[in-house]
Amino acid sequence: MAIASDAPKQSFRLSQLLYDTRYRSTTIQVVVLMLFMAVAAWLVDNTITNLAARGKDFNFGFLGIRAGYDIGQRLIAYDSDSTHARAMLVGLLNTLLVAFLGCIVATVVGVFVGVLRLSKNWLVSRLMTVYVEIFRNVPVLLWILIIYAVFTEAAPLPNAFREGGAASMILFDTVAVTNRYTAVPDPLFYRSLGNIDIGIFLISSDLLAIIAAVVAGWYANRLVLRRATAVQNATGLRPVTWWKTLALLILPGVLTLWALGFHLGYPSLRGFNFTGGINVSNSFMALWLALSLYTGAFIAEIVRAGVLAVSHGQTEAAYALGLRPGRTMNLVILPQALRVIIPPLISQFLNLTKNSSLAIATGYLDLRGTLGGITLNQTGRELETVLLMMLIYLVLSLLISGAMNIYNASVKLKER
């Protein structure tokens, strides 16, 4: 050791960059970085040159001009006089809607199926196996097309719902499944609070009030449960809380609805189509169902793997302590399974969100349909629209990933 440190001091030579292990890795990294930047620069330069050769420039001014086309499903005010930027926003909200609802249904389906697949009932577990294997082994695009085809070919025309027609509405004459859309009742309020204008679009105050009430009830319920646990830890007896929980979870929402004068507007056939309710288009339904069931099959496997990852000894230990199967699942198995389940679940949510761009197959106008479809085509700004679309999907995915990572941090194994 001493000899090595006493080695004669040499002045730095260029060959050391390659032959001296102290510098070699840095040299390689610098070279790779330079190569990468050269390739990137060449790509950018090539693009600019070719754009110039075609007489095209690169600017996003097209977002401010009149769009001129209509969009079937819009969550915010939009008509053909609106700008392309607003059309993009309408598309983005449609993407978010189907991704959000899809993630919820996929999770519910996935957890149910994943747990049921472990059931001791032979028939149930085999049925779930069949579901999982069929759905995850057929491309999701085919599922979208098949479900869409079933809706458009098998459901009756709106015309068939007329007096004396072949079809009739279901669920006490409130819902009509047609080959174009499913007409469902519209939630209305006698004493509506109006809308809040946040500059870009309007937000329903009624919806905000209901969400606030439900969240408040949920939070109060958590306090009640925490207090029950504290009492249990102190005295050994857990106070009865089920009726408080039930009341806190249900009453705030119901009371708010009653205060706002909630009632339903029922759809009825007028002219060509149903009016008075909400017409949920088949393209949306097909996309939503297909994405949910497809991703649900993957989530089921993730849940099953997570549950199986908890050693059987844990279950037996819980039983030995006298815990019933339900409590064993809730208190022992699931908390340990969750930390295995969450990380792959994140990538399933990301997959679902990105797969929603397959909406193009059913004509559902999501971000890909408005910005990357009609706007691209009417303005001829391929590069700008596609780059913008990629950026939006990237930000969306990173946001989902970030949110789920925060949740993951809260359930993962705490090392003290």
Indicate whether 55 belongs to the interface with other proteins (CB under 8 A).
Answer: yes
Question: Out of 69, 112, 201, 262, which residue is the one contacting other proteins (CB under 8 A)?
Answer: 69
281 versus 353: smaller Cβ distance to other proteins? 281
Q: How far is the CB of 36 from other proteins (least distance, A)?
A: 15
Indicate whether 165 belongs to the interface with other proteins (CB under 8 A).
Answer: no
Question: Out of 27, 83, 152, 351, which residue is the one contacting other proteins (CB under 8 A)?
Answer: 152
Q: How far is the CB of 67 from other proteins (least distance, A)?
A: 9
| Residue among 329, 331, 328 at smallest CA distance from 319 | 328
Indicate whether 68 belongs to the interface with other proteins (CB under 8 A).
Answer: yes
Cα–Cα distance between 141 and 149 in angstroms, integer? 12
On the 0-12 / 13-18 / 19+ scale of CB atoms within 10 A, 52 is exposed
Indicate whether 54 belongs to the interface with other proteins (CB under 8 A).
Answer: yes
Q: How far is the CB of 141 from other proteins (least distance, A)?
A: 14
| Residues from 171 through 190 that contact other proteins (CB under 8 A) | 179-180
Cα–Cα distance between 69 and 91 in angstroms, integer? 13
Q: How far is the CB of 308 from other proteins (least distance, A)?
A: 44
The structure tokens listed for 28 are 């390689």
| Residues from 382 through 401 that contact other proteins (CB under 8 A) | 382
Indicate whether 268 belongs to the interface with other proteins (CB under 8 A).
Answer: no
Those residues with Cβ within 8 angstroms of residue 323's Cβ, 6 or more apart along the chain or in another chain: 331, 332
Indicate whether 279 belongs to the interface with other proteins (CB under 8 A).
Answer: yes
Indicate whether 157 belongs to the interface with other proteins (CB under 8 A).
Answer: yes
Distance set, CA 316 to CA 118, 321, 341, 356 (Å): 16, 9, 22, 43
Distance set, CA 315 to CA 74, 109, 243, 308, 413 (Å): 50, 24, 29, 11, 18
8 Å CB contact between 314 and 361 = no
Question: Out of 85, 363, 401, 408, which residue is the one contacting other proteins (CB under 8 A)?
Answer: 363
Indicate whether 13 belongs to the interface with other proteins (CB under 8 A).
Answer: no
181 versus 189: smaller Cβ distance to other proteins? 181
Indicate whether 83 belongs to the interface with other proteins (CB under 8 A).
Answer: no
Cα–Cα distance between 363 and 99 in angstroms, integer? 16
Indicate whether 56 belongs to the interface with other proteins (CB under 8 A).
Answer: yes
Cα–Cα distance between 91 and 285 in angstroms, integer? 16
8 Å CB contact between 395 and 350 = no
Q: How far is the CB of 105 from other proteins (least distance, A)?
A: 24
Indicate whether 272 belongs to the interface with other proteins (CB under 8 A).
Answer: yes
**H helical segments located in 242-281:** 242-260
Indicate whether 23 belongs to the interface with other proteins (CB under 8 A).
Answer: no
The CA dihedral of 124, 125, 128, 129, to the nearest 10 degrees, is: -150
Which of the ranges 64-72, 90-98, 169-177, 345-353 carries the binding residues for other proteins, by CB under 8 A?
64-72
How many CB atoms sit inside 10 A of residue 247's CB?
Answer: 14
Indicate whether 163 belongs to the interface with other proteins (CB under 8 A).
Answer: no
CA 244 to chain centre: 32
Which of the ranges 102-110, 215-223, 277-285, 315-323 carries the binding residues for other proteins, by CB under 8 A?
277-285
Site residues (vs other proteins, CB under 8 A): 42, 46, 49-50, 53-56, 68-72, 79-81, 152-153, 157, 159, 179-180, 270-273, 275, 279, 282-283, 360, 363, 365, 369, 373-374, 376-380, 382
